[in-house]
Amino acid sequence: MMGRVSISHSLGEDSTNVSNIFIDEYMQDANDAQIKIYLYLLRMMSANLSTSVSALADKFNHTEKDVIRSLKYWEKKGLISLEYDASQNLTGIHMEDITSQKNTVRKKENTVLRALPPVTQAVPEKPNYSVAMLRSFKQSDGQGLLFIAEQYFGRTLNPTEISTIYYIHDELKFSDELLDYLMQYCVDNHKTDFRYMEKVAINWSQEGITTPKQARAENYRHDSDILTIMKALGMENNPTDKEVSYINKWRGELGFTMEIILEACDRTVLATQKNRLRYCDGILKSWHESKVITREDIARLDASFTADLKQKRSKASNSIDNKERYGESSIRLGANQNRFNQFQQNTYDFAELEKRLLDN
């Protein structure tokens, strides 16, 4: 049976110190995400570096909400303090001097993490709307919205669905334009359950989204296919509406898979550095006209193109060989020759001319 083992170290300055109190009293009750977040905060503090909620989420493959929950957990435990501005946006984190949980006296250290993105905003709970309230909404502010919803979803709305639109409009403060885009977004993604629409609305509200433009940008940012295609074309910018319209056409109207689109992207990058979206669009439209579906179809087109090119070159070579063999000039006189050549050429007997001159 293995007994106790001794642990030594040879750590240099490039290390992060973790309090034994944290290991003994705090770590056992924390989950994996919370432990990772706290240790990484210690790491950033020891190196005097800043970070952000999104950076922490990317680092550990968590959602930003997971990061926020972890931060609030450690704040509740008293190991950190969160700093907010007047608009309740998270702007800094204070790492507290860790002491035993029996000791309530703690002192603050310097703030070392700055410029964090806003904390997810709290949203109001959905009220229980009475029949009278729903009727009033349907006859006033909601009349146009409910008509649009029925057109989008293709059915008459029930009271629960009307309550959802009422809640999004009245409590989440969505403008008519944003609510219109929200419904369009759900229908385009084949999500006709109003519970899904409500969840999306709450998420947008938490993210501080107030306009359709902001909502589109947020959707693009989370569409992995769009980001992958943009990157494959060498474009690192946030996608614009125009750029996304090209990509959506390739995926939707033309019906290409990501495999085929990325093949077109690879060929585009090798061919040009300018107007890559248009160039790639030209390739994909040509493939669509040729009924390309798989890579084998592309290979078939490539082979056909190569064969045609080889045949044309062979014909051109044979034509040149024939001209050289029969002494045929490769220069053809046109129909309109030099005007002096239009007269019949005279032939002279210079010996006879000379005799006549001597006789005279």
Give tens-digit pLDDT for 174-224: 999 999 999 998 998 788 899 999 999 998 998 889 999 889 888 887 788
Handedness of CA 15, 18, 23, 24 (dihedral sign): positive
Using pLDDT thresholds of 50, 70 and 90, give the confidence band for residue 108: very low
Integer Cα distance of 260 and 105 in angstroms: 63
Stretch among 40-54, 88-102, 160-174 having the lowest mean pLDDT: 88-102
- Tell me the CA distances in angstroms from 107 to 41, 180, 264, one per residue in order: 17, 51, 59
DSSP class of residue 11 equals -
For position 250, what pLDDT does the model report? 94
Q: Which of 306, 305, 307, 254 is nearest to 280 (CA)?
A: 254
Catalogue the E-assigned strands of 52-183: 80-84, 90-96, 108-114
Q: Which two tokens stand for residue 269?
A: 């990058």
Q: How many CB atoms lie within 10 A of CB 200?
A: 18
Position 117 pLDDT exceeds 60: no
The torsion defined by the Cα of 353, 355, 357 and 360, in degrees rounded to 10, comes to -140
Q: So what's the pLDDT on residue 8?
A: 43
DSSP 213-268: HHHHHHHHHT-HHHHHHHHHTT--SPPPHHHHHHHHHHHTTS---HHHHHHHHHHH
Q: Which of 273, 271, 313, 306 is nearest to 298 (CA)?
A: 306
Spatial contact of 133 and 69, defined as CB atoms under 8 Å apart: no
* Residue 124: predicted pLDDT: 86
Judged against a pLDDT cut of 70, whether residue 312 lies above it is answered with yes
**Per-residue pLDDT tens over the stretch 61-89:** 888 888 888 898 888 888 888 887 666 66
Please report the pLDDT score of residue 336 as a whole number: 52
Structure token pair of residue 141:
């502010």
Compute the distance between CA of residue 91 and CA of residue 117 in angstroms, rounded to an integer.
7
Give tens-digit pLDDT for 288-297.
999 999 999 9
Cα 230 to Cα 88, 214, 260, 278, distances in angstroms: 34, 19, 14, 13
